[in-house]
């Protein structure tokens, strides 16, 4: 198989069969000048074709898959991404996060992004309220961002989002005119950020579309345990997408999108008199206290490269890393 | 691994990692009561996850793939199916057709359906014209449908479609108000059908969407060689989707969708005086003469099952066929 542009000799694409379609498709795609894209396409075509050969995929099943993909694309909108949801329920999102954000012991683990993060959340000052839901059970959140040695990390941009008390994100309400139950905060000099939210509740992932119909056919429920999302960004630090889950939720061990890690399951406390006075809440208000441990980008890349080399060797693949991503090593 | 509903014990979905996400996703999907769906999902999840592990798929690449799929779905319409086009350029359509429609020696081979078949073509009487393009080079087509022993097959419904002389199907014109360059015919008692069309021309597959952009990145052209599509349907006979390709087309050996078979490459002739008088065309008009050989549904199923059993055995898979489709054999 030729593997770089210029030297590739394109095959005669005639009389392609079950047995020769795969190498020929790979060869024609090898005209790309991009070594990484060539590798991705070669593996994609191999897996796609092997899937069809192993299952002897019927024409009706192929057409059902095409229709499923079209419907999945058509239901997407500015505020709904059904393909991310599909990736979530197939375990791919969790896997990609695990590959790309390995966590040294002691750092905060990642979780799935999900399809409900938006880019229009308001940046709020510490101490602000990110909820407008009077039905929600008030919850004070006192958080801190630190490095693995416990030193505060200031100036981190933190995206925070959760559902309202009915289990819906703002974007799921047809009459949404502005963001709600979501905000952006910046950690202060001591790494702290704090806000008023509401107690998370369990909720079903959107199940009125193709992904929901698939879950029904698979005999799976569509529920996620109560959680609140956090995303941390700062130059030089590894991007952390995570969430905190409430202990003893009915769906704690059966999350439809595989996001729960034991280290992210928390207990809510209640505010004492001093804390209540300090933050202006009624005594006994639900209290979320959490320290998030970020890892530097360098440390994460080092760990990711190390894991990649180890895994590729275990798979028997002769690869090299270019820009931290594997391509075939032809030397 | 439990493999049928009722006896499946669902795993605790906690602390999922690169190494345990795949078996756990398969196990949770095994709650489906449908054995074939369980097998399809298990292979899908395995290939999808293996792809991510072998490529150490980056978050950016995952997001690019999500965006590609969303865009592919969003450009679909009643008259455009970009996912079929994607399946075509990845060689999957050819593969699925080859698996499902094995051809005994002497029968007419299949080719790709493509994304341009519609269900609104008018049924025309033999001898009618299926073109309204005055710029096209007139072509008389005299065809016959027979069985492998040469006996005529009457009453076959034949869908026929081609582009106009500009290389566009009718549905690619924004102002399309009715079907053109497409029709349905019925073979007569002698298995014959004949019509007036135009000489096929090479044309680019739609390249203004995500699939066209992918081809550019792969260094591939987007052209299909000159051809005319035929689809044959009759109760008791294997559904035949095929096309005839003109010899010496510049894209004869580099079809963007892998459809060309040597047995489907034809030479056009010219009408002699007698034929011209009989069919009411000018002498020397382009002439397509073709015999199509259909196979019975029973014979095709027998051959498909035989091929499936052989292929699955060669893959080392312990399977049985249920309704002609493989599922794991647990006995």
Is the Cβ–Cβ distance between B108 and B222 less than 8 Å? no
A331, two tokens: 């030397």
Q: At residue A5, does pLDDT exceed 50? A: no
Q: What is the pLDDT of residue B8?
A: 53
The residue among A57, A74, A99 that closes a domain is A57
Q: Does B99 touch chain A (CB under 8 A)?
A: yes
pLDDT at residue number A174: 84
Chains A and B form CB pairs within 8 A to the count of 250
d(CA B125, CA A44): 46
- Report yes or no: B320 at the A interface, CB cutoff 8 Å: no
Nearest to A261 among B15, B218, B255 (CB): B15
Give yes or no for B81 touching A (CB within 8 A). Answer: yes
A170, two tokens: 């703002």
In whole angstroms, how far apart are CA A267 and each of A137, A241, A260, B262? 15, 20, 14, 69
Interface of A with B in 204-243 (CB under 8 A): 217-220
A33 CB within 8 Å of a chain B CB: yes
**Per-residue pLDDT at A4:** 41
B317 and B286 in a common domain:
no
Residue of chain B with shortest Cα separation from A88: B25
pLDDT above 60 for A207: yes
Residues of A within 8 A of B88 (CB-CB) are: none
In this prediction, residue A8 has a pLDDT band, given cuts at 50, 70 and 90, of low
Average pLDDT for residues B65-84, to the nearest whole number?
95
Interval A128-155 mean pLDDT:
97
The per-residue pLDDT for range B145-182, each reduced to its tens digit, is 999 999 999 999 999 999 999 999 998 888 888 999 99
Residue A66 lies in a domain: no
Cβ contact B28–A83 (<8 Å): no
Q: What is the pTM of this model?
A: 0.92
Is A307 found in the same domain as A276?
Answer: no
Q: Considering only CB atoms, which chain A residues are within 8 Å of B253?
A: 12-14
Residue B137 within any structural domain of the chain: yes
**Rounded Cα distance, B156 and B141, in Å:** 17
Helix B297-314 and helix B92-100, axial crossing angle in degrees, nearest 10? 110
Residue A162 lies in a domain: yes
Q: Is A84 on the interface with B (CB under 8 A)?
A: yes
Among chain B residues, CA nearest to A18:
B95
The predicted structure's pLDDT at residue A9: 64
Q: Choosing among B10, B11, B29, B37, which should be mutated to test the A contact, i.e. which has the most A CBs within 10 A?
A: B29
Same domain, A222 and A263: yes
Mean predicted confidence (pLDDT) in B267-288: 97
Instruction: Confirm or reject contact between B77 and chain A (CB < 8 A).
Output: no
pLDDT at position B6 over 90: no
Same domain, B109 and B184: yes
Cβ-nearest to A34 among B56, B93, B217: B217
Res. B9: pLDDT tops 90: no
Chain A residues whose CB is inside 8 A of the B16 CB are: 91, 94, 98, 258
Residue at A72 is within a domain:
no
Look at residue B71 and tell me if it is in a domain. Answer: no
Cβ-Cβ contacts under 8 Å, B84 against chain A: 66
- Test mutation, A11, A12, A57, chain B, max B CBs within 10 A: A57
* Co-location of A142 and A281 in the same domain: yes
Query: Is B91 within 8 Å of chain A by CB?
Result: yes
pLDDT tens digit sequence for B22-44: 999 999 999 999 999 999 999 99
* A322 & A182 share domain: no
d(CA B60, CA B205) in angstroms, rounded, equals 28
- Smallest Cα–Cα separation from B54: which of A106, A44, A265? A44
CATH code for position A204: 2.60.130.10
Q: Let me know whether A302 and A161 are in one domain.
A: no
Nearest CB among A21, A50, A219 relative to B32 is that of: A219
For A78, the closest chain B residue by CA position comes to B70
Answer whether residue B76 is part of any domain. no
SS (H, E, C) chain A: CCCCCCCCCCCCCCCCCCCCHHHHHHHHHCCCCCHHHHHHHHHHHHHHHHHHHHHCCCHHHHHHHHHHHHHHHHCCECCECHHHHHHHHCCHHHHHHHHHCCCCCCCCCCCCCCCCCCCCCCECCCCCECCCCCCCCEEEEEEEEECCCCCECCCCEEEEECCCCCCCCHHHCCCCCCCCCEEEEECCCCCEEEEEEECCCCEECCCCCHHHHHHHHCCCCCEECCEEEEEEECCCECCEEEEEEECCCCCCCCCCCCCCCHHHEECCEECCHHHHHHHCCCCCCEEEEEEEECCEHHHHHHHHHHHHHHHHHHCCCCEEEECCEEEECCC
pLDDT, tens only, B191-214: 999 999 999 999 999 999 999 999
Q: Is the pLDDT of residue B10 over 90?
A: no
Task: Tell me, yes or no, whether B186 and B253 share the same domain.
Answer: yes
Average pLDDT over chain B, rounded to an integer: 94
Dist CA B285 CA B198 (whole Å): 10
A78-82: average pLDDT: 88
Give the domain range for residue A220: 82-295
B94 contacts in A (CB within 8 Å)?
16, 21
Percent of chain B at pLDDT > 70 equals 97
Bridge partners of A243, per DSSP, are A229
Whether residue B257 is found in the same domain as residue B311:
no
Q: Is residue B77 part of a domain?
A: no
Å from A220 to nearest chain B CA? 7
Q: Which of B86, B66, B70 is nearest to B212 (CA)?
A: B86
- Most B CBs within 10 Å: which of A41, A59, A64, A257, as the mutation test of the B interface? A59
Q: Do B40 and A31 count as a contact with CB atoms less than 8 A apart?
A: no
Same domain, yes or no, for A51 and A95?
A: no
Structure tokens, A236: 């030089």
Report yes or no: A174 at the B interface, CB cutoff 8 Å: no
Give the range among A245-259, B11-25, B267-281 with minimum mean pLDDT. Answer: B11-25
- Mean model confidence pLDDT for chain A: 94
Q: Are residues A186 and A107 in the same domain?
A: yes
- At A246 the pLDDT is 97
Q: How confident is the model at residue B7 (pLDDT cuts 50, 70, 90)?
A: very low
Contacts of B73 in chain A (CB under 8 A): 69-74, 76, 83
Interface with chain B: mutation pick from A30, A47, A72, A243, highest number of B CBs within 10 Å: A47
Instruction: Look at A62 and B17 and tell me if their CB atoms are within 8 Å.
Output: no
Nearest residue in A to B6, CA atom = A219
Predicted confidence (pLDDT) per residue in A13-53, tens digit: 889 999 999 999 999 999 999 999 999 999 999 999 999 99
* The token pair that represents A107 in the structure block: 């750092």
* Chain B residues with CB-CB distance to A252 below 8 A: 14
A168/A314 same-domain check = no
The answer to whether residue B191 sits within a structural domain is: yes
Is A3's pLDDT higher than 60?
Answer: no
Nearest to A229 by CA among A162, A310, A317, A154: A162
Q: What is the 3-state secondary structure (H, E, C) of chain B?
A: CCCCCCCCCCCCCCCCCCCCHHHHHHHHHCCCCCHHHHHHHHHHHHHHHHHHHHHCCCHHHHHHHHHHHHHHHHCCECCECHHHHHHHHCCHHHHHHHHHCCCCCCCCCCCCCCCCCCCCCCECCCCCECCCCCCCCEEEEEEEEECCCCCECCCCEEEEECCCCCCCCHHHCCCCCCCCCEEEEECCCCCEEEEEEECCCCEECCCCCHHHHHHHHCCCCCEECCEEEEEEECCCECCEEEEEEECCCCCCCCCCCCCCCHHHEECCEECCHHHHHHHCCCCCCEEEEEEEECCEHHHHHHHHHHHHHHHHHHCCCCEEEECCEEEECCC
Q: Do A98 and B21 touch (CB under 8 A)?
A: yes
- Chain centroid to CA B304: 17
**Overall domain count for chain B:** 3
Please check the confidence at residue A2 and state whether its pLDDT lies above 80.
no
């Amino acid at each position: 198989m030729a593997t770089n542009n210029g030297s590739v000799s394109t095959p005669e694409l005639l009389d392609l069969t079950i047995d020769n379609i795969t190498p020929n498709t790979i060869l024609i795609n090898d005209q790309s000048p991009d070594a990484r894209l060539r590798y991705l396409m070669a593996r994609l075509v191999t897996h796609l074709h092997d899937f069809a050969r192993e299952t002897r995929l019927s024409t009706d099943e192929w057409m059902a898959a095409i229709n499923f993909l079209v419907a999945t694309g058509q239901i997407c909108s500015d505020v709904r991404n059904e393909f991310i949801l599909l990736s979530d329920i197939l375990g791919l999102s969790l896997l990609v996060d695990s590959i790309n954000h390995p966590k040294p012991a002691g750092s905060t683990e990642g979780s799935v992004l999900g399809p409900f993060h938006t880019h229009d959340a308001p940046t709020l000052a510490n101490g602000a309220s990110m909820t407008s839901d009077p039905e929600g059970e008030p919850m004070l959140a006192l958080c801190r961002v630190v490095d693995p040695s416990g030193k505060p990390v200031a100036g981190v941009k933190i995206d925070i989002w959760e559902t309202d008390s009915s289990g819906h994100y703002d974007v799921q309400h047809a009459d949404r005119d502005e963001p709600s139950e979501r905000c952006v905060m910046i950690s202060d000099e001591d790494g702290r950020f704090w806000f008023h939210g509401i107690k998370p509740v369990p909720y079903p992932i959107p199940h009125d579309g193709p992904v929901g119909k698939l879950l029904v056919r698979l005999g799976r429920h569509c529920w996620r345990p109560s959680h609140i999302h956090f995303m941390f960004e700062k130059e030089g630090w590894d991007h952390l997408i995570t969430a905190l889950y409430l202990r003893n939720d009915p769906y704690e061990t059966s999350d439809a999108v595989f996001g729960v890690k034991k280290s992210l399951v928390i207990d809510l406390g209640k505010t004492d008199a001093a804390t209540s006075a300090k933050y202006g809440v009624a005594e006994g208000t639900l209290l979320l206290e959490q320290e998030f441990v970020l890892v530097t980008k360098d440390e994460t890349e080092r760990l990711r490269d190390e894991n990649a080399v180890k895994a590729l060797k275990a798979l028997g693949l002769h690869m090299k890393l270019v820009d931290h991503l594997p391509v075939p090593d032809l030397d």
